[in-house]
Amino acid sequence: MNQRIILFLTLMLSGRAMTLAFIHRVGGGMPGDPPPAWLMPLVGDAIIGVTGLWVAYLIWKKTGMWVWTAVIVWNSLAIWDALSAFTINATNPWPEFFMIKLMGSSMFFAASAMHLAIIILASRKEVRRQLLG
């Protein structure tokens, strides 16, 4: 069951790839365009989102130390990315982004909490045994 929760959360978090739609508008100066400082967080989210599909595939189909390591490293980097985006938002806000309109700054902490939950679940003995094969 825990492995299914990890898979579900990973697929959900792969939605961070939606930032691919905004990267080309960074610093454009038009209403709703992201400030230039948002380039790194948007690229980071895009990378986390796209690679999330690969991590989900590994969880679903593969086993081994490298699978467990990929899960832990991917989620650790994703937490760093989300908290970095929070810092950028605090210094260079992008209030027009629909996710910030919906959730405010809590969206960065919600993503971090989901990634942390995956790390905690993947570190449990029975899940680690399943992922390691």
**Mean pLDDT throughout 102-123?**
95
pTM: 0.93
Is residue 94, in this structure, part of any structural domain at all?
yes
**Tens digit of each residue's pLDDT (9 = 90 or more) over 2-30:** 999 999 999 999 999 999 999 999 999 99
Domain that holds residue 7: 2-17+36-132
Is residue 31, in this structure, part of any structural domain at all?
no
Is residue 126, in this structure, part of any structural domain at all?
yes
Average pLDDT, the chain: 95
Report the percentage of the chain scoring pLDDT > 90: 87
pLDDT value of residue 46: 98
Domains: count for the chain: 1
**Mean pLDDT throughout 62-78?**
97
Centroid of chain to Cα 63: 22
**Tens digit of each residue's pLDDT (9 = 90 or more) over 25-59:** 999 999 899 999 999 999 999 999 999 999 999 99
Is residue 75, in this structure, part of any structural domain at all?
yes
Is residue 53, in this structure, part of any structural domain at all?
yes
Is residue 26, in this structure, part of any structural domain at all?
no
d(CA 100, CA 41): 14
Let me know: does 127 contact 3? Beta carbons within 8 Å.
Answer: yes
Alpha helices in 1-133 (DSSP H): 2-13, 20-23, 39-61, 65-91, 98-103, 106-123, 125-132
